[in-house]
Amino acid sequence: KCTVEQWEEVHRTAHKLGLTSTATMMFGHIEKPEHIVEHLERVRRIQDETGGFTAFIPWTFKKGNTMLDHIEEASSVYYLKVLALSRIYLDNFKNIQSSHVTQTMQVGIVGLHFGANDLGSVMMEENVISSTNYKVSIPKVEDMVSAIRSAGFVPAQRDTYYNIIRVF
C-alpha cells in the first residue's frame, strides 16, 4: 500500500501526462464521517488541478473473510447518503458511479436517484469483493438495461473513457 500523498502524486503525474483515471473511495469500516469528507476534498482538489478523473466511484467495505469481520457493515441507507454527498461535493466530476457490486442491483438503481449517472459495468468476473467470500451477483446486459429503464432512466453502453457507444 502507498501513502495518501503517493496516491495523489501518481494521479497528478498521470493526468499531467495526458492519462485519465478514476477516483474510488471504499468506506464503511473504520473511518469516521470527517475522513469521508477529507477524501472527497482531496479528490476534488486534484480534479480542480488536473481534470483527469473520468469518474468517482464510492463503494462499501465487505467484511467477509477479512481481519475486520467483527465490524458491522455500512447500511444501504448510509451508502446512498454518501453517494448523494459525493454528487454534491464533487460538482467538478461529470460521472459518479453507483455500485451494484457491493450494494445489489436494486440499491445500485436507487443510487441513480441519489446523484449517480452510471451503474458500472457488466463484468466477466469480479475478483476484489469476491475474495472476501461476499457473493457477487454479476447481472446480464439485458437485466441491467431493464432495471435502468424501469427506474425511469435511459440505459446506454459506454467505454472506459465514458464515451457513449450506444443507447438502448
CA atoms within 13 A on the CB side of 21: 18
More confident call, 136 vs 106: 106
More confident call, 139 vs 64: 139
Q: What is the pLDDT of residue 123?
A: 59
Average pLDDT, the chain: 91
Q: What is the pLDDT of residue 89?
A: 99
Q: What is the pLDDT of residue 82?
A: 99
Shortest CA distance to 22 belongs to which of 39, 49, 48, 47? 47
More confident call, 104 vs 129: 104
More confident call, 65 vs 52: 52
More confident call, 131 vs 25: 25
d(Cα 50, Cα 15) in Å, to the nearest integer?
Answer: 6
For 124-161, write each residue's pLDDT tens digit.
Answer: 555 555 555 656 677 888 999 999 999 999 999 999 99
Q: What is the pLDDT of residue 1?
A: 84
d(Cα 66, Cα 160) in Å, to the nearest integer?
Answer: 30
Residue 115 gets the label, from left (phi > 0), alpha (psi -120 to 50) or beta, of left
Note the pTM of the prediction, 2 decimals.
Answer: 0.89
For 69-97, write each residue's pLDDT tens digit.
Answer: 788 889 999 999 999 999 999 999 999 99
d(Cα 116, Cα 56) in Å, to the nearest integer?
Answer: 9
d(Cα 103, Cα 106) in Å, to the nearest integer?
Answer: 8
The answer to whether the CB of 99 falls within 8 A of the CB of 49 is no
Q: What is the pLDDT of residue 90?
A: 99
Q: What is the pLDDT of residue 121?
A: 78
More confident call, 168 vs 70: 168
Shortest CA distance to 31 belongs to which of 61, 70, 75, 76? 61
Tell me which fold the domain 4-167 belongs to.
TIM Barrel (3.20.20)
Q: Output the DSSP codes for 2-48.
A: --HHHHHHHHHHHHHTT--EEEEEEESSS--HHHHHHHHHHHHHHHH
